[in-house]
Structure 1
Amino acid sequence: MTMLKRVRRASVVLATALALGGGSWMMTTLPAAAQSLFEERGTLAPMQAEYSFAGKAGDTVTVSMTSTEFDTFLVLNSPSGEELASNDDYARSLNSTIVITLPASGTYKVLARSFSGQGGNYLVTVRAATPYDLAYSRATELYRNGDLDAALPAFTEAIRIDSERPEAYLDRGDLYFSQGNVSATRSDYQAAIALYEKQGDRETAQMLREQLSYLETPPDGSESF
C-alpha cells in the first residue's frame, strides 16, 4: 500500500519573556519551526510542536497560539514536567491563550497542538501579561466557575482597562442575559458588534446581529427583550 505524506510549513515565532532586574522584560525570538502533517488511511493528524522559555518564579506571562487556518490548542508544562494549564478556545475565538503566574524558576515547555485534527500556519508567543490579560482572564475564570456576582464587576474592570476588546462585552452580555437583564445584554452586544465592525471583522459582526435578533424574537414569535 502506498502511503501519501503531505508536509506543510508552519510559521512559528516564540517570543520568550525573561524577567530582568527591576521588573523589566527582555523579548527574544526563536527560529521558525515546521509542523508536519501526515495522511494515512484518509486521516490527517498534525504533529505536536514543542518550545521552551526561561521563566522566573512570580512572573505572570501570557502564552498564546493563533491561527486563521485551524483550531489551536495549548499546553504549558512546568520545569518539572507537570502540566500547569491548557487552553482550547479563548476570547470568543478558536485561538488559545494561557495567563499564568509562574510557580518556580526554570525552563518551561509550551506544547502547540491542533484541536480539530487540521494543521497549518500559526504563531506562538510568550510575553509579559498586560493588565487587561489579567483582568479578562480572572473574569472568565470566575464566570466559568459559576461565581456570577464576582464575574460581573471583573468583566467591567476588564472593559475599563481596554474598552476596544469586544470579547469582554460579549461575555458580560451573556452574563447579563443569564440574570435576565435584557437591556444590558442588548447594550453589550451592540458595543461588541460596533467594535468588530471597526476591526473589519464584518462576518462576526453580522453573526452577532443575527444572534441578537434571535434573542429579541424567539422562534414562537414572542418578544424576548
Structure 2
Amino acid sequence: MTSWKNGSWKLGCMLATAIALGGISLVSIAPAARAQQTLFEEQGNLQPMEDEYTFSGTAGQTVTIAMNSDVFDTLLVLRGPNGQDVTMNDDYARSLNSTIVATLPTTGTYTVLARSFSGQGGAYRIVVRPATAYDQAYARGFEQLRNGQMDQAIASFTDAIGQDPNQPIVYLDRGDAYYSQGNIQGVVADYTRAAELYERAGDTMAAQGLREQLEYMRSNPTPMPMPMPMPMP
C-alpha cells in the first residue's frame, strides 16, 4: 500500500514536471464530490490599460503633450507614423504627471498612448498643443539635469525663466543644479523665489515647506537630500 502511494506520488511529480516543460497537455476533470452547481460564470475581454489618441503633425513641428491626473501615476508614449515609438515620459516637473516636448521627425499621423504606470485607473486630462519657448527651454533643462549636465541645465533653466518668470518649478530645478555645484547662495535665491510664487498662488503649504528647507540649509551647511514639491496647478 505504501509503495503504491510512493509510486503514484512519483508519477504525479513526473507528470507535473512534464506539464511545466510543455511536453504533455492534460484536461482537468473535477472530482465527483466537487461537481456542484456553478454560482457564477461569465465571459469577458480584458482590454490593455491604455488609451490611444491620434493627431496630424508636420516634420520639424515641436509639440507639447501633457497628461495629468489627480488619482494615478501617468505614463505617456509618442508613436510615429511608422509605428515606432518616438519618445516617452513618466514623471515630469517634480510630479507624477507626464509631459513630452518633442520635435516631430516626419509628417504624418502620430499616436499618443496614455497609460497608467502602476496599472491603476481613473480620470485624467490629456492635451496636445504647439510647444512654447518656455516648454522647450524647460524640457532641455529637465533632460540635462537628469543627465548630470549641470552647467547646461542652469543655462536652459535661466532661458526658461526669461520666457516665463512666474513658474516656481524652474527655480527649484535650477536651485538643485546650483546645489550639486555647491552654490548655496544660488540655491537660497531660487528656493526663496519659488516659495514666494507658491505663496502668491495660494499654496502656503509648499511655500512653508521650502522655507523650512532653507532654514535648515542655513543652519546645517552639510548637503541634505531635497524633497520635490508638487507643481502649481
Q: TM-score range by the shorter chain?
A: 0.7 to 0.9
Deviation at 1:207, TM superposition (A): 3.0
- Residue deviations 1:151-193 (CA, integer Å, cap 9, x gap): 2111111111100011110011001111111111011111111
Deviation at 1:55, TM superposition (A): 0.7
Which of the pair is proportionally richer in helix?
Answer: 2
- Residue deviations 1:120-179 (CA, integer Å, cap 9, x gap): 111101000000001111111222222212221111111111000111100110011111
Query: What CA distance in whole angstroms lies between the structure 2 residues aligned with 1:212 and 1:2?
Result: 60
Distance 1:102 1:94, change over 3 A: same
Percent same amino acid among aligned pairs?
A: 55
Which residue of structure 1 aligns with residue 50 of structure 2?
48
**Which structure 1 residue ranges, 5 or more long, are not aligned?**
4-37, 39-44
**Which structure 2 residue ranges, 5 or more long, are not aligned?**
1-38, 224-233
Which residue of structure 2 aligns with residue 91 of structure 1?
93
One-letter identity of the residue aligned with 2:63:
V
Query: What CA distance in whole angstroms lies between the structure 2 residues aligned with 1:214 and 1:118?
Result: 37
1:79 aligns with 2:81: yes
One-letter identity of the residue aligned with 1:130:
T
Equivalenced residue count is 182
Which residue of structure 2 aligns with residue 167 of structure 1?
169
Query: What CA distance in whole angstroms lies between the structure 2 residues aligned with 1:79 and 1:46?
Result: 21
- Residue deviations 1:7-46 (CA, integer Å, cap 9, x gap): xxxxxxxxxxxxxxxxxxxxxxxxxxxxxxx8xxxxxx98
One-letter identity of the residue aligned with 1:208:
L
Q: Is the 8 A contact 1:217 1:224 kept in 2?
A: no
Deviation at 1:114, TM superposition (A): 1.3
TM-score normalised by the chain length of structure 2: 0.72
Which residue of structure 1 aligns with residue 111 of structure 2?
109
Which residue of structure 1 aligns with residue 133 of structure 2?
131
TM-score normalised by the chain length of structure 1: 0.74
Q: Is the 8 A contact 1:46 1:118 kept in 2?
A: no
More deviation, 146-155/104-113: 146-155
Greater C-alpha radius of gyration:
2
Query: What CA distance in whole angstroms lies between the structure 2 residues aligned with 1:210 and 1:120?
Result: 34
Query: What CA distance in whole angstroms lies between the structure 1 residues aligned with 2:219 and 2:189?
Result: 16
Q: Is the 8 A contact 1:46 1:114 kept in 2?
A: no
One-letter identity of the residue aligned with 1:117:
G
1:147-158 equivalent positions in 2, closer than 5 A: 147-158=149-160
RMSD (CA atoms): 2.3
Distance 1:196 1:116, change over 3 A: farther
One-letter identity of the residue aligned with 2:90:
D
Distance 1:208 1:2, change over 3 A: farther
Query: What CA distance in whole angstroms lies between the structure 1 residues aligned with 2:160 and 2:73?
Result: 25
